[in-house]
Structure 1
Amino acid sequence: MALDHTAGLNSLGFAKPPSETRVVVAMSGGVDSSVVAAQLAEEGYDVVGVTLQLYDHGAALAKKGACCAGRDIHDARRVAEEMNFPHYVLDYENIFKDAVMDEFAESYLGGATPVPCIRCNERVKFKDLLETAKDLEADCMATGHYIQRKMGANGPELHSAEDSNRDQSYFLFSTTPEQLSYLRFPLGHLPSKEATRALAQKYGLPVADKPDSQDICFVPDGDYAKVIEKLRPGAAEPGNIVHADGRILGTHEGVIHYTIGQRRGLGIGGLSEPLYVVKLDVDTKEVVVGLKDMLATRNIPIKEINWLGDTVFEAVAEREILVKVRSTRPPRPAILRAKPGGFAEVELLSAEEGVSPGQACVFYEEGSTRILGGGWIWRGA
């Protein structure tokens, strides 16, 4: 763990011994959060492990790649027993369904492409769980996310992870300054995931070789449409697949089966040119397809801004920044313009393809690893 070398402070930034510092560790049952809990326990902190039961995990026991399932709860408990600290499982199924799963379904039915992991961090882990940590009289809450919290001139700042391949800043942009003051991310400074697994081996953790989660936790097989149909029976309605020039090319069983930028699996073979989904019109129930260049976008409207900069967001008339519009893409140069009411406009200096409503747009400071916040891409202009 990166130590805070300020005189008199322990490695979590408190002016007291680790044994007098209580830290709640959010434990998913994976190797990352297990290493965080084990390392803090070894350093002598008063560790309390908490695992959330987020959904009916009975059907997911045999599935690989799903977090917070029954196997993961078992693994988290084993780590706590071996490292000798208390561990609790909290039933958050109703909270998770109301705050994350229902919006996920509604967004897809509305033609958007949501990112439920961001909403889970924002509305469950860093809200309800964080309040639970305070109720347990913890000094802070630690997670296994790959991101860094650094002290700046105006307080804690959010920075990208040392390992850019593991960086999770895209999924944590909505962390508020108040939450950031309470959170700790002990893995953010590590050079690689291999370094994390080496620590797991060092502590003899039973999850040292456990595979990483790959899918959304409540969609362990990657079939989003099936989950949406279960949450909203009968809500997906058939319609036409329409070329941008107006030609009807085929039919579909619901817009929930398509995403902006999709090329494969459109069900309209035999055409001379590759076509992509360029628009999902839920009002007319049309999936609109066109040539790849129709996906190129430079101006992106943003709503629900979470700002982590040093000035008031409304004062940002125009600022050069870097932005990510998808988690798998590198930050791109852009101009940020603040609008009243928590809105903004981002102008990309070079066009980006496949920008989709429902995705996040995350702001990064030029020439720095600092995250300045972000917001949600929406339809308005």
Structure 2
Amino acid sequence: MNHSIMKTVLGVLFLFLTACGKADNQDGPGQGGAENKEDKFVKGADISWVTEMEQDRLTFKNAQGVTIDCFQLMKEIGMDAIRLRVWVNPQVGFCNKADVLAKARRAHAQGLKLMIDFHYSDWFADPGRQNMPADWDGKTLQELRQAVADHTVDVLQALKSEGIEPAWVQVGNETRNGMMWPAGQLWNEQGDLTDGWKNYVSLSNAGYEAVKSIFPEANVLVHIDNAWDDQTWWFGKFTQFGGKFDMIGLSHYPQTHQELGWEEMNRRALEHIQLWAERFDCRVMICEVGVKSADEALAARVLTGFMTEAMKLEQCAGVFYWEPQVYGGWKPAIYNSLGWGAYDMGAFTSDGRPAAALDVFSE
């Protein structure tokens, strides 16, 4: 079915169902994690690249120009949480279990809360790339469910053994088109895949259950991209197939849609936070946000405009900036072999200090 038609049909159907009352689904959203019970707005950052940057001899400075540990600097900026991505068996060695543990210890030592972001891949997972971990290739769906559970438990148990308890755990990263392709893919160029939603939800729920087996109070998030886009139909479909989550996680990059413009993208994202929180009986976390670094004044205006309004919403659990510590054109070595440019949404100045865009985190 054409996706635009499908979205319309599902949206109308779901509005009808919710008008008649919410289904009594004890495995559905809003099933309770610690953050659902507190009102504090979380201000955080994903700094998963930090150990790779440090290996490349980059350092970080505070506003006074004093060289400082990056985790300590995040706390000084006003952050109270750190997000760390986990890859299964990455070629480069970063973001594997050992690297995540090393960074989690540093965050914990600063008293920073922790979000763990499972990609269930050996490298970045996003809407255009959800590659199956190489070691899991060829497994049956049931075997993949077990692999998801084992990997999740392995990492979380390692954290627990060191007295580190994440407040939030993502099961998949930007999974709008499912995860662990082709097993958990939802559609391709030919259209919707048979049993796509069933298989994806099965894999996602395996992650959810694994998290709860180690940290029952942790909030488990399902995370998709494009907070500005009306994806009510997506969450309706996910819950229709029994998908489990405690919170909704979203990415929001408000300068990536030139036709709409950043002000309209911010407005839509804020509207959707309220809509989905109410519709699916849970809070919403902005797991990733980023603004263009080329114009420092504009970057501050764009982010402050969003954050100021988000902090007013009781439905919004918080905001994590994605890799703010990037500066000076740095990029991971693998980007060179891929012909990729540097990340252009870092929020540090060229000499390694926090830029004005991050001032809003201290408010």
Settle same-fold status: TM greater than 0.5. Answer: no
The TM-score bracket by the shorter chain reads: under 0.3
Q: Normalized against structure 2, the TM-score is what?
A: 0.26
- Report the TM-score, using the length of structure 1 for normalisation: 0.25
If asked which structure has higher relative contact order (CA below 8 Å, sep 6+), I would say 2
In proportion to residue count, which structure has more helix?
2
